[in-house]
A and B are shown apart, each in its own frame.
Chain A
């Protein structure tokens, strides 16, 4: 089944998994240890990410390691990063304004 990549990254756990495996290749067990959810729940997330071509699988001995498919990720990034940055900038400016307004309150 092919999935929409944007659905894949809409879930906070899946985004956390992507961040983890961006740093280094990991086995499903090692990934699961980082979350409170059950092994099964984490496997389900991994399956969805694999269906979106966001995971590279590597066989090392008996173990399967998952790594981030960086090129695929860049596709989304290019699209979203600038849009996201606009909001980040906006909100940083708003943080400053709120601080200023709070200090001016009687």
Chain B
């Protein structure tokens, strides 16, 4: 498979994380894997974590309530409140950490997500901007990546990537 463009940058001035990636599929398929819960759950959580969507109403004003399930079975609940949807082109949402019933954890920051889907024929570029309220929030979210074990050791990851490439 050809090398797919991937770009990841953090802009501390605008408190924004910017992720761009090309996918080897047409825009309508890529749109589906980002917006249909049964498909989202198959890739959203980096292994060995799993994503489990409890409910999802993909409409403007609708909400996705899902858990990131850790290797020990621990669940971290989160929501996405969809604020704007332009089919196959763009959607926006506000995320938050919650309990299993979707009650907001006020101690945790929320961030604004903007996802653009750019139709390139056989491939599709997805451009994701995650904006945080301030720099402290951004740093907190990134540090959480370490603490909550959303990520794994480099070694197991490298092994996983090798396996996925085969």
Residues of A bordering B, CB below 8 Å: 4, 6-7, 9-10, 12, 79-99, 101-102
Contacts and interface: CB of A to CB of B under 8 A. Distances in A.
B46 A90 contact: yes
Interface of B: 1, 4, 6-13, 17, 19, 21, 23-25, 29-30, 32-33, 39, 42-47, 142, 145-146, 150-151, 154, 157, 160-161, 164-165
Nearest to B151: A82
26 contacts: A4-B12, A7-B12, A79-B142, A81-B154, A82-B151, A83-B17, A83-B142, A85-B151, A86-B46, A86-B150, A86-B151, A89-B157, A90-B43, A90-B45, A91-B23, A92-B164, A92-B165, A93-B42, A94-B43, A95-B1, A95-B4, A96-B43, A97-B42, A99-B24, A101-B25, A101-B29
B46 A93 contact: yes
A12 B8 CA distance: 10
B109 to A, nearest CB: 15
Given A4-B13, A6-B11, A93 B47 contact: yes
A101 B28 CA distance: 12
Contacts of B12: 4, 6-7
Nearest to A94: B43
